[in-house]
Amino acid sequence: TPMPSFTDVIESGIITDEQLWRVAQYVRSLSPEGPPRVREVVRAVRIEGALAAGPGDSLWNDVESQYIPVVGQIIVKPRWFAPTVNGVWVQAMHDGSRIAMRIRWHDPSRSPDPRWEEWRARVVETMADPDSAGPAAHGPDRLTVQFPATTGDGERPFFLGGAARRPVHLWRWTSEPDAVAEGAGTGLGQFTSRPDAPELTHEARFVDGEWQVQLTRALIPRDTTVSPVLPVGRAIPIAFFASDGSNGEDEMRTAVSAWYALYLDVPTSPRVYATPLVAMVLTAGLGVLVGRSARGHGRHTERHTREE
């Protein structure tokens, strides 16, 4: 709808024109120079040595971030049309036996936060959820990373949490308690955690209005019947869900992405470095042979001419 004019606010001296420009400049300073580039593949770089120890590790400074847009979940009831999170930034690395992923996203609060209760109440009142009553209390912030239950056949399950016929494998993090769970999903909000101790580890921190969560796990789990293998050198379907508890969001009222792909770099073969060197030696040797042959042919022709 059209916004009202704020001319009367300026004329009455409540705020000056210069202060308005300062606000505009501050908002602009928070924005990137251009829109983030969306690519289909998240690359997990191969590193030698230890993986990053946590989301604040300086190793992440040398790993490219991939932007994954997310939108409100408006397919399965209860739907959600006003998510706080509109994208996540993903980085990944592996050492041949384990993978570490750092996922970052903007969030104005570290939920649950009682100071945001008035905001949550107004969101629920304004949204007038047509499917059900809004959430009655704050919940935690959430992040879910989704894979197919099996990564070998190339078929992708339903992107909203899978289905009973084709389940998905989920890594789920919550801010309160600060914990992760690993298990199977058979639909949005339908999650069964692994019965044994999960192999997934994590570390999370909230810095300057941004969540940073690092998830680490072995590429080949102890039990491949309950957790998928993450193969090197093959595209693995992956998706992301994020929820802001202070905005009245939960497992169903959330922001979701489509399927993307995770690709784990293969080790660089020594042949990559040896082949050019061998080619240079062979080329130089061939050049010497051709030169000698040409000089010998020239001397033979000159001698034959003198004899004639």
pLDDT in tens, 231-272: 999 999 999 999 999 998 999 999 999 999 999 999 865 554
**Are 44 and 262 contacting, i.e. CB atoms less than 8 angstroms apart?**
yes
pLDDT in tens, 266-291: 986 555 445 666 667 677 667 767 66
pLDDT of residue 273: 45
The top-scoring range by mean pLDDT among 27-36, 67-76, 109-118 is: 67-76
**Are 227 and 200 contacting, i.e. CB atoms less than 8 angstroms apart?**
no
Tell if the pTM clears 0.85, that is, is over it: no
Reported for 185-189, long-range contacts at CB under 8 A and 24+ positions apart, including other chains, are 185/146, 185/161, 186/161, 186/162, 187/76, 187/158, 187/160, 187/161, 187/162, 187/163, 188/73, 188/76, 188/160, 188/161, 188/251, 188/252, 189/161, 189/251, 189/252
Question: Half-sphere exposure of 222 toward its Cβ, with a 13 Å CA cutoff?
Answer: 6
